[in-house]
Amino acid sequence: MIRRVAIIGLGTMGPGMAARLARGGIEVAAYDIAPDAIERARAMLAAADSVLDNLEIASERTGSVRLTDKLEDAVADADLVIENVPEKEEIKADVYRKIEGLISPDTIVASDTSGIPITKLQAHISNPARMVGMHWSNPPHIIPMIEVISGEQTAPETIDTIRDFIRSLGLLPVLLKKDVPGFVENRVLYALLREVVDLVERGVIEPEDIDTCVSWGIGYKLAVVGPMALLDMAGMDIYHSVSSFLNADLCDRKDVAPLVRDQIAAGKLGIKSGGGVYSYSPESIAELQRERARKLVAIRRILEGKD
Ligand SMILES: NC(=O)c1ccc[n+]([C@@H]2O[C@H](COP(=O)([O-])OP(=O)(O)OC[C@H]3O[C@@H](n4cnc5c(N)ncnc54)[C@H](O)[C@@H]3O)[C@@H](O)[C@H]2O)c1
């Protein structure tokens, strides 16, 4: 039974995750190595809480979130540690080494890695049977799907415990039976991103138009009909006819597209640098985040039949 969770790393993902877990009655202790990240996390927790109020998810906060600047204080007594530090194997390995002597050998250690194989991460921890991938989707307090990834040495009981835990929070666990690079959500997303970047790069379509095309075409539909169900909806024969000529024409480049490399060289990293494909002012960023959260919440309520 998981009652106490430690979150290590309070950047983009940690605060929303902490807020959502607390709504499930969990006592969360959250730690970051950087004092300013802990400060930022306070505001992010408040923002996530107000979104969760709108979602009417366990509006009575039965759990709690405690921020701490001491690792041992965060992990002591935790039934589950969720490692949420930057996507670099050596940083993650360092965290596992540090918590090793602070937790019991049975404490489950989950990584929110977006793509480092769990089997690789297991090399850095004793008792690798208790390590599992727990890949949340951003924003973690709103998106209910969590990928659960078994590494080669993960014990079946660890998977069962995590799956049951996610379900008990009213969230949706998705089990990956193989530890494939990028897991499943990102493999599908990156297949899509490779194609859209290629279409823009080849001058087939403008960024605004491809965003409209994908969001209001397949994106809108996929929220209701998943891709495998879509095959049935379209018909296997139709998919066969189209894919027999189209697959050969789809982008299959192995490297990163020049469009992306050029943007990086120009310092245009996206929202975090004030511009990427589009331009952003500090005011427009705040408004965009509010508006996106509002729409995601509204869509989720409709899909769950609450409106
Ligand atoms: N950002 C996303 O959309 C997203 C989605 C799903 C999964 N993830 C994964 O979640 C993990 C975290 O991603 P993020 O986007 O929140 O990263 P981030 O860079 O925004 O935040 C990472 C935080 O970890 C802290 N940190 C660094 N070293 C630490 C240490 N030794 N101990 C404690 N804290 C430390 C940093 O100070 C920072 O606040 C990554 O593995 C990432 O791949 C990210």
Q: Is the pLDDT of residue 284 over 80?
A: yes
How high is the mean pLDDT of the chain? 95
At 52-79, the pLDDT tens digits run 888 776 556 689 999 999 999 999 999 9
At 85-100, the pLDDT tens digits run 999 999 999 999 999 9
Residue 40 CA: nearest ligand 1 atom is 39
Of residues 249, 247, 185, the one with CA closest to residue 239: 247
Asked whether 17 and 80 are in contact (CB, 8 A), the reply is no
Q: Where does residue 68 fall: left (phi above 0), alpha (psi -120 to 50 degrees), or beta otherwise?
A: beta
Q: What percent of the chain has pLDDT over 90?
A: 88
Q: Is the pLDDT of residue 180 over 60?
A: yes
Q: What percent of the chain has pLDDT over 70?
A: 98
Mutate to test the pocket of ligand 1, among 84, 137, 186, 189 (most ligand atoms within 8 A of CB): 84
Q: What is the mean pLDDT of residues 259-274?
A: 95
**Residue 307 burial (10 A CB sphere; 0-12, 13-18, 19+):** exposed
Q: What is the mean pLDDT of residues 12-37?
A: 96
What pLDDT is attached to residue 193? 98
Give the distance (Å) from ligand 1 centre to CA of residue 188: 22
Q: Is the pLDDT of residue 194 over 80?
A: yes
Token pair 């138009």 is at which residue? 209
CA separation for the pair 110, 130 (Å, rounded): 8
Give the distance (Å) from ligand 1 centre to CA of residue 113: 9
What pLDDT is attached to residue 250? 98
Residue 14 CA: nearest ligand 1 atom is 16
Q: What is the mean pLDDT of residues 179-206?
A: 96
What pLDDT is attached to residue 198? 98
Q: Is the pLDDT of residue 306 over 80?
A: no
Give the distance (Å) from ligand 1 centre to CA of residue 9: 6
What pLDDT is attached to residue 108? 98
Residue 92 CA: nearest ligand 1 atom is 31
Asked whether 109 and 83 are in contact (CB, 8 A), the reply is yes
Of residues 187, 67, 170, the one with CA closest to residue 135: 187
CA separation for the pair 133, 150 (Å, rounded): 6
Please list the residues that pair with 134 across neighbouring strands: 148
Of residues 148, 154, 112, the one with CA closest to residue 131: 154
Q: Where do the domains of the chain lie, and which CATH numbers do they carry? A: 4-176 (3.40.50.720), 185-303 (1.10.1040.10)
Could you tell me the two tokens for 32? Answer: 């970051």
Q: Is the pLDDT of residue 272 over 90?
A: no
Q: What is the mean pLDDT of residues 105-130?
A: 95
At 206-219, the pLDDT tens digits run 999 999 999 999 99
| Pocket-forming residues, ligand 1, beta carbon under 6 Å | 8-14, 32-34, 37, 84-87, 91, 94-95, 112-114, 135-136, 138
Please, which pLDDT band fits residue 260 given cuts at 50, 70 and 90?
very high
Asked whether 194 and 251 are in contact (CB, 8 A), the reply is yes
- Three-class DSSP labels, the chain: CCCEEEEECCCCCHHHHHHHHHHCCCEEEEECCCHHHHHHHHHHHHHHHHHHHHHCCCCCCCCEEEEECCHHHHHCCCCEEEECCCCCHHHHHHHHHHHHCCCCCCCEEEECCCCCCHHHHHHHCCCHHHEEEEECCCCCCCCCEEEEECCCCCCHHHHHHHHHHHHHCCCEEEEECCCCCCHHHHHHHHHHHHHHHHHHHCCCCCHHHHHHHHHHHHHHHHCCCCHHHHHHHHCHHHHHHHHHHHHHHCCCCCCCCHHHHHHHHCCCCEHHHCECCCECCHHHHHHHHHHHHHHHHHHHHHHCCCC
Q: What is the mean pLDDT of residues 249-264?
A: 97
**What is the model's pTM?**
0.92
Asked whether 65 and 28 are in contact (CB, 8 A), the reply is yes
Which residue has a Cα nearest atom 39 of ligand 1? 11
